[in-house]
Amino acid sequence: MSTPAWNAPEPARAHSLLDIELKKWDDDFRFLLDCYQHMLRGTGETDLAALLADVFSPAPVADAKLPPRGAQALSMAFQLLNMAEENTSNQVRRMRETVGGPASEPGTWPYQLQQLYAASFDEREIRRALASVHVQPVLTAHPTEAKRPSVLERHREIYLMLVERENPTKTPMEQQALEQRLEDTLERLWRTGEILVERPDVESEVRNTLHYISNVFPSVLQLLTERFRQSWQWAFPASDPPAEPRLTFGTWVGGDRDGHPFVTTEVTRYALESFHARALAVLRESLQNLASRLSLSDAMQRAPAGLCERMAAYEAMIGAGATSREYQDEPWRHFVHLILARVPQPGDAQPPAHCYRFPNQLEEDLGLLGNALRQVGARRLAVSEVAPVQHLAATYGFHGASLDIRQSSAFHSLAIGQLLSMAGLEGTDYPTWAEERKRRELDRELESPRPFATSSAALPPEADASVGVLRLVREWRERHGPGAIGSYVVSMTHETSDLLNVYLLAREAGLVRSSAEGPVYEIAVTPLFETIEDLENGSRVLADFLRHPVTQRTLRFLQQRDNRARPLQEVMIGYSDSNKDGGILASHWYLRQAQMRLAEAARGAGVELRFFHGRGGTIGRGAGPTHVFLESLPPHTLEGEMRVTEQGEVIAQKYANRLTASTHLERLLAGVTRWTLMQSRDRIAPALENVFERAAPISREVCRRLIEEEGFIEFFSQATPIDAIECSHIGSRPARRSGRRGIQDLRAIPWVFSWSQARFNLPGWYGVGGAFQRLRENDRAAWEALLRNARSWPFLSYLLHNVEFSVVAADPTIMAEYAMLVENEALRARLMSQIMDEYNRTRDILDDLLGGNRARRRPRLIKAVEIRRHALMRLHREQIRLLREWREALRDGRTSEADQILQALLVTVNAIAGGLKTTG
């Protein structure tokens, strides 16, 4: 057993690194801004160059009207500022590690390994935990990405030039040439424009996801491998690194049909085919590069017999005599070419018989190649050359990212009712049946393998859509294996019948097989508990579902198919709708309680539970620093497996640049590893659990009182740009689940987006001050417990810091100006008074709980807000003016004029989103 080498130097003084960070942030942004202004002056846009100089100066002219294209100019400036912040963060992280040692950066592998060792976990225990870890980020296409794909490409070019500028060996002429290239790229970006004239279709969202599969993740995987190996060797220098924890990718793009009429079976087929073809292309390119590097001569080392035997078999299979002669002295390279010949060509509907059918066959051959290199003493080449390709194959398979299917429980109920009616059974009103009646019908039907309708029968719309996609799932699995298909997620799961309905639909699609015990359904069903009520009922529903004999047979079948030690059940929990339902404090608390009860239900059924965290890109939808989020999870709810959504603009923020992407994924993998081990120890603070049991219902009551206030919908509709957001073209999905007008039908994303545009940030803080103040006034012991543990209890600390972020980013001055759009003066005064009272209560409570000067406590956050303040003020006032004009034009029937105003209005929506670094 090796001894860890915790020999880092003394950490640098925090304030000195902070000073360096803030100065670099300024320097990088000023450089980019100067190049931007120079480009604008060169294209005759002197007014816009002057605007940028004004709004980012210490004393701007805040009330002047924006010049033409002023909003677009500011939007680009914000994108440059975001790049400067990202580059600064990456470079300072390197500096901190250099000065303070590898373990000085929270959340990274060295930090987490050191924390585990300090908690008395030895190397053997850590190795065992690593083998159980599987993390899957799931890329979604919610309507929150406000930037066009071509704009993202230009951003990537600019970011790389900003990094290149830091090369200290560049001569003045070389630096001048770099600035010229930067200005050329800025001009291309300026002339590209950022607003989508038409709403993107799902196919374009698929293509955008393919960019990450093709151009980002392959190199990020290699960075992750290198970082893990180096971290292990730093921590345990006498020990060979184990296999790194498993990372795969998932996606909802092309499979998420919940309230999305444009995701048809054919669209899902297109997505599967696209991901399949791109994964094969990436693997083939990686193998070609591997072949070019393995130029080992047979004269220097004889190829092992096992490798020669496999080559001879493949030569006979493929007929590769010419290739054999070409590489007769380089058997290693020849074997890679034989492997390459067995990888199907992208887009080949009928691959030749010699091609691999499943990706594990490719992994096996790469394993043979690596072992052959080790046998001749070339271990270094096995690790540096073959292992990364093997890791890529294990991560990507032949699909790149597994595609989830999601549909709402209500849609499934309609489909079941239609199928019952087709079979001559009473079922037209199936959605309205009581749960007991549904269960009797389902229990009877699920024990029979015969379908309701023949495969050639024409089905009604909901039944056709539901059965059609499951037939595609069956067909794809038969051709390519199970890896390409992810979870089948049932949104708005209320009762057990909502999950059993999927089995009945699977029967219609042929996803059923006979067994001695009865029918087995070849699909894993994932409940999604979203509202607070469903979170409270979730453990009862899950326990009932897991007791069902059909579920038990199905989970055992999937366990054997996937070669798992225990049956696995996945449960998804929603952070967005629970917040919309009861506010951030209640949402966090009921999510925490639900996780503990769901985990207990799974343990009682002898089933491993994997949580799928449906987090959004804003505080109001579950966002927050990854490593702190993992620490805040409740005890006994993490067993190595985790899935988490990456939504909208967050995908570009986390993954557009390789260093940022690898840092995020490292924190995710290292954090899941650490807390899988740490959660085996009881971290519940009973006194605080009791405090939150009282605070959460109060907070929910405060939030519901506002939402249910007379006139609230009128206030919300007029005081925020929700109507403009619903007309925007930033995603293929409609903003509402149906055509009904009201808060309940509105998706959580535009709900959060509209409040952030008007700088209320209501979902990120409302209800916290009212709940905690009532405790402070009525229960001094509870309040004292909060004061003592505000920083030390991870759950409470995570919640408070996220709330503080939302409060600081809100702006009462701007809120009041948007409120002036509300035409009913009495309504405006009444609701603004209620909102501002809660805002001030929340600020006061945060100051009491967190203590100290906020500027000293959150210097980066304060700077991020201040540097944007004046430019955002101009944009908000422009948006308010345009909102007023647009709404008046619509009321007067001036449709053509309204359309023109809307285009300018959407530019301000996009610009403000860029300035705030968030949409929904």
Residues serving a catalytic function are 142, 580
User: How many CB atoms neighbour CB 216 within 10 A?
Assistant: 18
**Token reading at 190:** 């300026």
What residues are paired with 646 via a beta bridge? Answer: 139
Cα distances (angstroms) measured from residue 848 to each of 85, 141, 787, 804, 841: 30, 40, 8, 12, 11
Three-state secondary structure call for residue 574: strand
| Whether the Cβ atoms of residue 667 and residue 654 lie closer than 8 Å to each other | no
Q: Is 754 exposed, middle or buried (0-12, 13-18, 19+ CB in 10 A)?
A: buried
What residues are paired with 608 via a beta bridge? Answer: 568
User: How many CB atoms neighbour CB 375 within 10 A?
Assistant: 17
Tell me which residue has tokens 């209620």.
834
End-to-end CA distance of the chain: 49
d(CA 641, CA 548): 24
**Token reading at 365:** 């051959």
Helix/strand/coil percentages in the chain, nearest 5: 65, 5, 30
What is the DSSP code (8-state) at residue 386?
A: I
φ/ψ (deg, to 5) at 405: -110, 130
**Token reading at 790:** 């505000």
Cα distances (angstroms) measured from residue 912 to each of 184, 240, 600, 756, 868: 25, 50, 44, 9, 10
Rg of the Cα atoms in the chain: 29
CA nearest to 642, candidates 682, 607, 604, 669? 669
CA nearest to 783, candidates 919, 895, 692, 650? 692
**Token reading at 355:** 């091609």
- Any residues with CB less than 8 A from the CB of 798 and at least 6 apart, and which? 624, 628, 629, 631, 632
Segments in 145-263 forming alpha helices (H)? 149-164, 172-192, 202-215, 217-235
d(CA 468, CA 393): 30
What is the DSSP code (8-state) at residue 245?
A: P
φ/ψ (deg, to 5) at 489: -100, 130
d(CA 161, CA 83): 11
- Any residues with CB less than 8 A from the CB of 173 and at least 6 apart, and which? none
Interstrand relation of 512-513 and 520-521 (parallel, antiparallel or unpaired): antiparallel
Three-state secondary structure call for residue 739: coil
d(CA 911, CA 194): 9
DSSP string, 402-416: EEEEEEEHHHHHHHH
Handedness of CA 307, 312, 313, 314 (dihedral sign): positive
d(CA 180, CA 386): 40
Three-state secondary structure call for residue 736: strand
Amino acid at 568: L
DSSP string, 4-54: P---PPPPPPHHHHHHHHHHHHHHHHHHHHHHHHHHHHHTT-HHHHHHHHH
**Maximum C-alpha span of the chain:** 91
